[in-house]
Amino acid sequence: MCTMVTRGQPKRAPKRATMVDVARAAGVGLTTVSRVVNGNTSVAAELVDRVNAAIAALDFQPDESGRQLRRGVAGVIGAAVRATSQPNPVLRCVEESARAAGLMILAASTNDDTDLEREVVMSMWRRRFDGVILEPIGADHGYLAPQLAGGLSLVAIDRPIEGVDADAVLSDNVVGIEMAFRHLVQAGHRRIAYIGDDERIYTGRQRAAAFRACATAAGRPLTGLVHTVSSGNEAAVAAAVTKAFGGRYPATALITGNADTSVLALKWLGADARRIAIVGFDDSDTARLLMPELTVIAQDPATIASTAVALLTSRMAEPFRKARRVTVPVSMIIRGSGELRIGR
């Protein structure tokens, strides 16, 4: 067996160009290069050109870790969300808002896992990210106290952080449920069912509670009509549908507590869906593809996102101000599924 010569394969690390290299190549001082890189205007035009030529020739790109170490800011804000790679209109808008503010967003998944969340946030803290946007999971975030006291800028979205005082921006879940409920009541419905997220989840808890409050206040029945199931549990949704819409006194209307549940409920209702008024919580691409098209309570991702970024920048400027909690209005989008009237 003949051993090939490994020519053309420079094994040793290729020693990226550094600012000193650029300075040497351009025949100027290190500081001058730094000034050019940072757009400082007090450099003679000729030197600027020489430096830029050297930068181009060496393909120099400033090392951000050195920069960050010296300047103390990262230019990055982290987004710790339940899952990147999952539809998340808020995250999409956060990216836009942040880009508009000249910040880079780097996202990591917490996978609905408390330990992983902790690891992810801590990792962002150790990297000294300028801020963190967190979709919190789990009940107690007391573990964050030292970091928040140490100057970590953090804002919670979708749910508040408990056990510690931090900024949060939330949707108005209660009003959302109220809107849906009133809409159905006005169409003549008496037996209105609710199927939504597990009540261990903050939004699930809040929406289910709001529903119960509405029903009680309006003198509507509750028994057998409220079902909270863990996210994505198809069998549980099916069972809930059967309970609510079977039996002697079937419901005539349905409020679903999140996008997933809406889709699953519609799937299990099948053809019956046409004989039931349905209002779903959360808008989604699928909502418009369902038959009938889904009437929804829509959150306002753009406002949520811009508020979150605003809270974050405000806190970065003033790390120890009092925590603020902002509630963003929701709206109802009428598409057909929720407008079935019932005779008396």
Partner DNA sequence: GTGAAAGCGCTAACAT
Partner DNA sequence: ATGTTAGCGCTTTCAC
Give the binding site for a second copy (CB under 8 A): 9-11, 13-14, 16-17, 59, 61-66, 68-69, 74, 78-79, 81, 83-92, 95, 104-109, 111, 120, 122-123, 125-128, 146-147, 149-151, 263-264, 267, 286, 289, 319-321
Identity of the residue numbered 9: Q
- 341 touches DNA (CB under 7 A): no
The least CB distance from residue 218 to a second copy, in Å, is 32
30 binds DNA (CB under 7 A): yes
Element holding 87 (H helix, E strand) = none
| Residue 63 interacting with DNA (CB under 7 A) | yes
Strands 253-256 and 192-197: parallel
- 286's contact among a second copy, DNA, none, with CB below 5 to 8 A by partner kind, is a second copy
Is 28 a binding residue for DNA by CB under 7 A? The answer is: yes
Looking at the Cβ atoms of 15 and 344, the one nearer to DNA is: 15
Minimum CB separation of residue 210 from a second copy in Å reads 27
Region near DNA per CB under 7 A, out of 43-51, 83-91, 176-184, 205-213: 43-51
Round to whole Å and give the CA distance between 295 and 44.
63
Helix ranges (DSSP H) in 150-201: 173-186
CA distance to 214, 234, 296, per residue, from 280 (Å): 16, 16, 5
Q: H or E segment at 262?
A: helix 259-269
**Residue span binding DNA (CB under 7 A) among the ranges 55-63, 166-174, 242-250, 284-292:** 55-63
Q: Does 70 bind DNA (CB under 7 A)?
A: yes
Least CB distance from residue 240 to a second copy, whole Å? 17
**Amino acid in the structure at residue 251:** A
CB of 152 to DNA, least distance (A): 15
Least gap, CB of 22 to a second copy (angstroms): 14
Q: What's the burial of 235, exposed, middle or buried (CB within 10 Å: 0-12/13-18/19+)?
A: exposed
Nearest to 34, CA basis, from 45, 46, 23, 50:
23
Question: d(Cα 92, Cα 317) in Å, to the nearest integer?
Answer: 24
Q: Which does 42 bind (CB under 5 to 8 A by kind): a second copy, DNA, none?
A: DNA
Look up residue 33 and give its amino acid: V
Q: The tokens 């573990």 sit on which residue?
A: 143
Q: Which helix (H) or strand (E) holds 215?
A: helix 202-217
Per CB under 7 A, the list member of 31, 123, 230, 242 interacting with DNA is 31
For residue 292, say if its preceding peptide bond is cis, omega within 30 degrees of 0. Answer: yes
Which one of a second copy, DNA, none is in contact with 247 (Cβ closer than 5 to 8 A by kind)?
none
Nearest CA-CA partner of 111 in 138, 152, 83: 83
Based on CB atoms, which residue is closest to a second copy, 215 or 259?
Answer: 259
Backbone angles phi, psi at 229, to 5 degrees: -130, 155
Instruction: State the binding partner of 332 from a second copy, DNA, none, CB within 5 to 8 A by kind.
Output: none
Q: How many residues bind DNA (CB under 7 A)?
A: 27
Q: What is the contact surface with DNA in residues (CB under 7 A)?
A: 16, 18-20, 27-32, 34-35, 37-38, 42-44, 46-47, 60, 62-63, 66-67, 69-71
